[in-house]
C-alpha cells in the first residue's frame, strides 16, 4: 500500500523458486477532503489490506477541502474523492463529468455539548441559551437551525447564536461565553474530556443522512471502481464488527490527540451509526443531505439522480 502522508515504502523484492500466484494489481489515488476521523474507513481499508485483497494499490492524498478533493478527480490527479455528495451534485449540474458511487458516512456526525449547569431533556430546553456553532454557511449550523425550528424555537429570538470558525467552538464554552456548542468529532469527545456533556446527537435526531460519499469521474474504469468500493465496504463492515480494532486504527492515525479523545470519537461514530454499515446509499439519506444544501443555498434544488448518481457497482459489491 502507498500513502501520500508517509511517503512511498521501499520496494521489497522476494525471490522464490516457485512464485505464488497473485491477483493482478491495479492502482488508484483517492483524495480525502481532510485527514479526519470521519475518513477512518479508507485508512482501515489500507491498513488491513482490504484494497490489496481486491487487487488494488491505493494511495491516499489529503486535499484540505471538499472542493479541492473533487477538483483532483476532475483534473485526473486522483481517481476517487471522499466528501459530501453535494459537491459532486453541484459540479455535475455545471457540466462536470463526475458521479457519486457509494457512501461512507450515512448519518450526520454532529453533536450538541453543554456545560453541566444546563438541564436538557429535548431541543426546546435550549430556549434562552447561548449556542456556539460554526460560521454559516456550514452543514452543522444549518442542520442545527432546522432542528430547533422543528422543535418550535425561533432561531432569531429564542436562542443566542454565536458563530465561530469551525473547530473553535469549545473556546467560548471554556470562556463562559456560551452554554452549549454544536460540534463535529473529535471536538465532541474533546469537550467531554474537558468536562462538558454531550446532550444530543444529530444522527439520532435526523436519521439517515449521507454525510460523506465516494465520488469519481464518469469515465472511471468499472473494474477499478468495483475494487475500490470492495475495499471500502470491507472496511465499513470490519469497523462495526471490530470496534476495538477500529479504535486501535484511530489511535495509530492520530497519535497527537489524547487517546481518550480518539477512542471516544471512533466509538461514537460507530454507536451513532455515522460510519455506514455498507457503501450502499439509502434514498432517504441522500435526499436529506441534499435538502440541507438547498437550505444553505449551495443547490437551487435537489437534482435528478441520473445526473450525478451511479450506485450500480456499490449495489453489486454489497450483494456479494
Per-residue pLDDT, 264: 98
Per-residue pLDDT, 23: 54
Per-residue pLDDT, 209: 96
Per-residue pLDDT, 24: 62
Give the separation between CA 7 and CA 198, rounded to whole angstroms.
38
Name the stretches of the chain with pLDDT < 50. 1-22
Per-residue pLDDT, 4: 42
Predicted TM-score (pTM) of the model is 0.89
Q: How many CB atoms lie within 10 A of CB 120?
A: 16
Is residue 109 within 8 Å of residue 38, measured between CB atoms? yes
Per-residue pLDDT, 17: 38
Per-residue pLDDT, 295: 82
pLDDT digits (tens, 9 = 90+) for 94-124: 999 999 999 999 999 999 999 999 999 999 9
Amino acid at each position: 500500500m502507498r500513502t501520500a502522508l508517509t511517503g512511498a515504502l521501499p520496494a521489497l523484492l522476494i525471490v522464490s523458486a516457485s512464485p505464488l500466484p497473485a491477483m493482478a494489481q491495479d492502482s488508484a489515488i483517492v483524495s480525502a477532503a481532510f485527514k479526519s476521523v470521519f475518513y477512518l474507513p479508507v485508512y482501515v481499508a489500507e491498513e488491513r489490506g482490504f484494497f490489496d485483497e481486491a487487487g488494488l494499490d491505493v494511495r491516499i492524498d489529503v486535499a484540505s477541502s471538499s472542493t479541492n478533493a473533487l477538483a483532483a478527480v476532475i483534473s485526473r490527479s486522483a481517481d476517487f474523492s471522499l466528501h459530501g455528495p453535494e459537491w459532486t451534485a453541484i459540479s455535475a449540474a455545471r457540466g462536470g463529468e463526475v458521479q457519486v458511487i457509494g457512501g461512507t458516512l450515512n448519518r450526520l456526525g454532529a453533536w450538541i455539548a453543554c456545560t453541566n449547569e444546563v438541564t436538557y431533556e429535548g431541543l426546546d430546553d435550549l430556549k434562552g441559551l447561548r449556542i456556539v456553532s460554526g460560521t454559516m454557511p456550514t452543514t452543522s449550523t444549518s442542520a442545527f437551525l432546522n432542528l430547533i425550528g422543528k422543535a418550535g424555537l425561533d432561531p432569531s429570538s429564542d436562542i443566542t447564536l454565536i458563530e465561530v470558525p469551525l473547530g473553535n467552538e469549545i473556546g467560548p464554552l471554556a470562556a463562559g461565553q456560551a452554554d452549549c456548542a454544536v460540534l463535529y468529532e473529535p471536538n465532541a469527545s474533546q469537550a467531554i474530556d474537558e468536562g462538558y456533556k454531550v446532550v444530543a446527537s444529530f444522527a439520532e435526531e435526523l436519521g439517515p443522512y449521507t454525510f460523506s460519499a465516494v465520488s469519481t469521474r464518469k469515465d472511471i474504469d468499472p473494474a477499478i471502481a468495483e475494487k475500490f468500493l470492495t475495499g471500502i465496504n470491507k472496511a465499513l463492515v470490519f469497523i462495526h464488527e471490530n470496534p476495538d480494532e477500529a479504535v486501535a486504527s484511530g489511535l495509530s492515525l492520530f497519535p497527537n490527540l489524547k487517546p481518550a479523545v480518539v477512542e471516544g470519537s471512533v466509538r461514537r461514530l460507530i454507536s451513532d451509526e455515522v460510519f455506514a454499515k455498507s457503501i450502499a446509499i439509502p434514498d432517504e439519506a441522500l435526499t436529506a443531505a441534499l435538502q440541507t444544501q438547498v437550505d444553505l443555498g449551495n443547490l437551487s434544488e435537489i437534482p435528478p439522480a441520473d445526473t450525478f448518481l451511479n450506485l450500480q457497482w456499490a449495489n453489486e459489491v454489497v450483494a456479494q
